[in-house]
Every structure is written in structure tokens, then in C-alpha cells.
Chain A
């Protein structure tokens, strides 16, 4: 699947396009197919998101997994600070990135 990501303009937080809005959770990302550029241009023009771009990802039983490790780190947070990731209760969450 192709999903759309960027950073929130105000906070800089990593966000994912969920079909109608931007979510902090990669699992909310939807397949944008060939509409990525159109949505990105519209959202950037509306000043809601910074430098949005489309990436390849896969949906499996555990949720949505970006194809590239850099986007998996973005999705989770720094692997060396499990307390600051989006899964702070899971000390092993960083393993998902590798």
C-alpha cells in the first residue's frame, strides 16, 4: 500500500494521513493509491502539514509497517528512549523497527 506522511506544522510531530485527517498513529494510515500527490499538495497548501510525502508500506496482523526503516523509526519514536515512543509501556517496542 502507499501511505502519506509528514510532520505537523505547529508541533513537528510525525503524522499519517487517515483518509480525512492527520493521525499520530501509523496504524491509522490508509492506502492513498495514486492520490498521494493531490492530497499532499492540498494539505500543504492548507498549512496543516510540513513536507508530506508518500511511502510504501504493508498492512499485516500487527498493523501498518512502512517499508523503509527510517519511516519505521519515525512511526515509533527513538528506539533508545522507549519511554518517549508511541508505545511507552513496551520496552521492546524498538524491535519492531529492525
Chain B
């Protein structure tokens, strides 16, 4: 171990030294021996460093396995194929006790992705609204936004989760005394119950109409933009899009005789059964993550908007743009360049913070897989490794996506 570290150290030193004392780039026709050629040297050293590093991790891995074996701790991934034997409160894919531990991994993973995905979208929307409100000329709105930001980002997230879960959602009435909204939705301390749709024959037409409408809208936007560039004429894209996407499927729905039935939840011995249901654990976690992250996003948005110089606003005014188009067409596009990089870190934070789910029993990856599955099988190293790999992958995907978006909106010099 020590020797490996030593070798790595020496190589790093040589590399640094090489990069510091790099001779002038142009050697002319001068012949250099390969071991003195900085190019060859750096490639060789980097290669050796890579091999050493690889060997280092390989040794750690083998050592760990061997030591665990010696201590009588089972290792390997065979457990993933064994029957799990425990129930999970909420699953997006079919699951019951007879499925495998491997399946519990995916159940937890999807629950994590679900809460993080919704959280990112909601936090972005709310964060933008509050960030803009913070700069409002209306004193009341600006101060309200400021209070929101200061309160929410200064209270630890875990406390906020507990607050929403134990103080708000658990204080709701029991199923028998549910709060009913028009007899359709039922809210109680077991969650929000709603009718779930059951498609009947002919419903696929509605779906297909929707797909065609979406494609149509994409085409329409391109056409409208090109027309505006050529002729300067504007086309009411937004209204026509909404009409197409909402109206066309509705029309087909009516024409095919409303081929959709609803499964209404009904009160049973202990609680509601049938229909769809949003569990309070999900609501509390989603809400807390959203509100908390939105406070940070609002500050980022504010900073972004303020970074656009006032001259831009004045220029827009001089062109005759009103308030809202100025914001939408001039300020926001420029401020996005400042907003996107820190926004990415907020998305990453939100995703990682979603693992606080275990505190209130929302069955996310950490709670299900690194919690129950780990405890039933005891294979800590494998399971913690897999879980870390998942968070790393999700984070890298978000970063990649956001970086690509950042590139796209970056200032293109003409």
C-alpha cells in the first residue's frame, strides 16, 4: 500500500516538474532522444500513473473482499436474485413481497427519480416567480418574496420535512372524516385520494390525436418563426398551440363517445380503497424540497436578472417594447447565462437531498435499498456502492444535460 502511494507520488511529482519546466515549444529540426522528449515523457508518465491508480483501486477492492470473507461476512451480488419478502408502500412498477431484492433497487430508484423530477420542475417554476417578484416595483410583493426567501433557506431542510409531514399532513382528519372536494377528491391523513382513469375501447384515438397535435405544433412554431424572420409578421403561436393540443383531443374524445371510465375511491374498513392515491410521505417530501430549493433558485434568478445591465432595459424601451416583452425577450435570455450554472448545482442538491426521505418513510432508494434491503441481507459494501453509483449517475446526467443547454444558450457572436 505504502509503496503504491509512494510510486504515485513520485510520478505526480515528475509530471508537475515536467509541466513547470516545459522547454520552449519549437525545437526546430533538433533531434531529441525519446526519453528527453516532453511529449513522449508526459504520455508515458500519464499512462503509468493511470495503471498505478487502477492497480491501487483493484487492490483495495480485492483486499476488502478477502477481509470480509475472513470475517465471515457474505459478499458478492448473488443476493440481488433472492426473494425480498417485504412490502413497499409505493411502487411505480409491479411489486410485491415475492419479487427479488434486485427489483427493490428499481422500485426505490424510480421513487427517487419521481420525487426529484417533480421537485426540480416545481422548484424552478416557483423559484423563477419568486425571484422576479423579489425585484417587483410593488413594495408588498417584493417584501413578501424576500420574507419567503429568508425564512425558507435559513431553516434546515430536515426540519421543514418534519414540519410538513408531522405538523401539517398528519394533523389532517382520519379517513372517516376526510375533507372531500366535490365528492371527487378526498384528503385525509392517509393521503390524497382521487379517481383513476380506466381507458375503454376507442381511447387510443384520443392519444393519437394528441401525438399528431404535438407534432403539428412543433412544425407550426418553426413555420411561424421563419415567416416572422422573412416578412416580420407575427402569428399567434401560443393560442393556436393551446387550441391544437387541448382542443383537438377533446373533440375526438367527444366524437368517440367519451371512452373513459373512472375508478372512484370508496371508504372501506380502515381507509379508502380503489382509485388513485398520493401518499402523504410523497407530498411532504416533494413540498419541502420544492419550497426549500425554490428559495435558493429565487436568489439565483434575482442575481441573474440584476447582472443584465440597465442599458439593455433602456434600449428595449427605446425600441418600444413594453414591460413583459422586455423581460421575456431581452432580460431573461441574457440572464439565463448567469443563472444556469448555479441552477445546475441546485438541481443536484435537490436530487441528493431527496434521500432525506427515510426520515418520514417515503420509500426512496436510500430508504428501500440502502435501508431495508441492506438490513435484510447485510451486504453493506455492495449496496452502499450501488447506491452511490446511482446518485453519481443521476448527478452526472443532470450536469451533462444542463451543460449542453448552457452551451446552446451561450452568447453566439455574429
A and B: interacting chains: no
A-to-B contact residues, CB < 8 Å: none
Chain B positions within 8 Å of A, measured between CB atoms, are none
